[in-house]
Amino acid sequence: MLRDLTLETTLESVTRMSQYKYETHLHTSETSRCGKSSGAELALHYKRLGYTGVFVTDHFLNGNTTVPEDPSWPDRVEMFCHGYRMAAQKGREIGLDVHFGWEYGSGWVHLLTYGLDQDWLVANPEVLSWDLLHYCDRVHGDGGSIVHAHPFREGVDIVQVLPGHVDAVEVLNSGRDDESNRHALDYANSFGLPKVAGSDIHSIECKRLCGMGFSRRLRDAHDYATAIKAGEGVIIEMPAGRTQEHELEDE
Q: Tell me how far, at minimum, the Cβ of 29 lies from Zn ion, in Å.
A: 13
Which residues share a beta bridge with 215? none
Q: C-alpha 34: how far from its chain's center? A: 16
Q: Tell me how far, at minimum, the Cβ of 63 lies from Zn ion, in Å.
A: 7
With CB under 5 A as the contact rule, the residue among 21, 99, 110, 148 that binds Zn ion is: 110
Q: Tell me how far, at minimum, the Cβ of 122 lies from Zn ion, in Å.
A: 23
Nearer to Zn ion by Cβ, of 18 and 32: the residue is 32
Interactions with Zn ion, residue window 125-164 (CB under 5 A): 149
Nearer to Zn ion by Cβ, of 17 and 83: the residue is 83
Left (φ > 0), alpha (ψ -120 to 50) or beta: where does 25 sit? beta
Nearer to Zn ion by Cβ, of 182 and 247: the residue is 182
Measured from each CB, the residue nearest to Zn ion is 110
Quote the CA–CA distance of 219 and 240 in Å, as a whole number. Answer: 29
Residues 6+ apart with CB under 8 A from 169: 147, 148, 151, 184, 187, 188, 193, 194, 195, 196
Residue 223 and residue 234 in contact, taking contact as beta carbons nearer than 8 Å: no
Q: Tell me how far, at minimum, the Cβ of 52 lies from Zn ion, in Å.
A: 21
Q: Tell me how far, at minimum, the Cβ of 13 lies from Zn ion, in Å.
A: 30
Which range of residues in 47-55, 160-168, 198-206, 225-233 is near Zn ion by CB under 5 A? 198-206
Interactions with Zn ion, residue window 89-108 (CB under 5 A): 103
Does residue number 200 form part of the binding site for Zn ion (CB under 5 A)?
A: yes
Size of the site for Zn ion (CB under 5 A): 4
Point out which residues bind Zn ion (CB under 5 A). Answer: 103, 110, 149, 200
